């Protein structure tokens, strides 16, 4: 097992976080073997879900017959998740856990995890089993068909937000509506709040992200060199263990991100052209 702690063993990653292809010198020797896909699972008090999640993810990716690395980035939960992932990693070296100490933020955790692989395609999904791991095969197939970005979407086709109440559904719709002026008409996704997607590393090379944010996909959509986009529907599942991380802090971080992106738009920092294939 590779258990890395940061800061300490790792050089500090400043905010905003750079999506660089290079690793801190202190972890160069621990870099994963060359893989086509690096999937990051950010966690905070998700020990109750992680074993089942990793089992389903590995079964799905193994069936694709691709080289991959599976990187759990934990924000120092101290709930036993290191031991659980460590047990799995002993039998499967493609699995590793990185522990960040003294830091919070999903975006920062995702970028931090992507730095532990040089895979050509990187991705992220939640650990709470609300994102069905089996959808990874459909996302991967869309990438193989040429998409730069494949998004698991709750708002296309047969997808849906699951058992959300009316208030939460309305808040989600409002959060999406606010992003419409930022999204390019030729690359608009119906679910820019999704935390389940795959993207080509070359499309986000050298971008800097809001380290404390929770909606990294929106930044990628607005600022990345995304020329083709695919959406794959899914029905949002029910959390199996633990509690939701939604909070006032998350809402504030989202507001800050929107402000930054709108300011960039006002300054005339434009997007790249995009070609969008048919939805899955």
Query: Residue 237 gets which letter from DSSP?
Result: -
> pLDDT at position 22, please?
34
pLDDT above 60: residue 25: no
Q: Where are the domains of the chain?
A: 3-266
Nearest to 7 by CA among 123, 122, 112: 112
pLDDT in tens, 82-125: 999 999 999 999 999 999 987 777 788 999 999 999 999 999 99
**Pairing verdict, β 229-233 and 208-209:** unpaired
Distance CA 9, CA 207 (A): 24
Among all chains, which residue has been given the structure tokens 């402000």? 259
> pLDDT at position 186, please?
65
- High-pLDDT (> 70) share of the chain, %: 72
Nearest to 201 by CA among 19, 53, 73, 5: 19
Q: Is the domain 3-266 a CATH 3.90.550.10 member?
A: yes
Structural contact between residues 71 and 98, judged by C-beta atoms closer than 8 angstroms: yes
The secondary structure of the chain in percent helix, strand, coil, rounded to multiples of 5, reads 35, 15, 45
> pLDDT at position 266, please?
67
Among all chains, which residue has been given the structure tokens 């590779």? 2
pLDDT in tens, 225-265: 899 999 999 987 766 665 555 556 667 777 777 777 778 76
Distance CA 155, CA 150 (A): 14
Distance CA 168, CA 160 (A): 13
């Amino acid at each position: 097992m590779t258990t890395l702690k940061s800061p300490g063993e790792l050089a500090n990653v400043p905010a905003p976080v750079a999506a660089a292809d290079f690793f801190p010198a202190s972890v160069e020797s621990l870099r994963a073997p060359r893989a086509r896909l690096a999937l990051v699972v950010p966690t905070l008090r998700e020990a109750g879900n992680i074993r089942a999640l990793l089992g389903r993810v590995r079964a799905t990716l193994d069936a694709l017959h691709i080289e991959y690395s599976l990187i759990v980035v934990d924000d120092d939960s101290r709930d036993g998740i290191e031991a659980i992932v460590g047990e799995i990693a002993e039998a499967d070296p493609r699995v590793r856990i990185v522990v960040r100490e003294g830091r919070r933020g999903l975006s920062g955790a995702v970028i931090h995890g992507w730095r532990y692989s040089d895979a050509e395609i990187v991705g992220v999904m939640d650990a709470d089993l609300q994102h069905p791991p089996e959808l990874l095969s459909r996302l991967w197939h869309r990438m193989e068909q040429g998409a730069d970005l494949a998004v698991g979407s709750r708002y296309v086709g047969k997808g849906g937000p699951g058992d959300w109440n009316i208030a939460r559904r309305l808040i989600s719709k409002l959060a999406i509506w606010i992003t419409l002026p930022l999204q390019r008409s030729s690359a608009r996704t119906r679910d820019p709040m999704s935390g389940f997607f795959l993207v080509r590393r070359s499309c986000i090379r050298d971008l800097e992200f809001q380290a404390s944010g929770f909606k990294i996909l929106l930044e990628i959509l607005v600022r990345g060199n995304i020329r083709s986009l695919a959406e794959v529907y899914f029905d949002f599942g029910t959390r199996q263990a633990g509690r939701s991380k939604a909070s006032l802090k998350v809402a504030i971080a989202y507001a800050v991100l929107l402000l930054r992106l709108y300011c960039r738009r006002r300054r005339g920092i434009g997007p790249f052209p995009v070609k969008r294939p048919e939805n899955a």
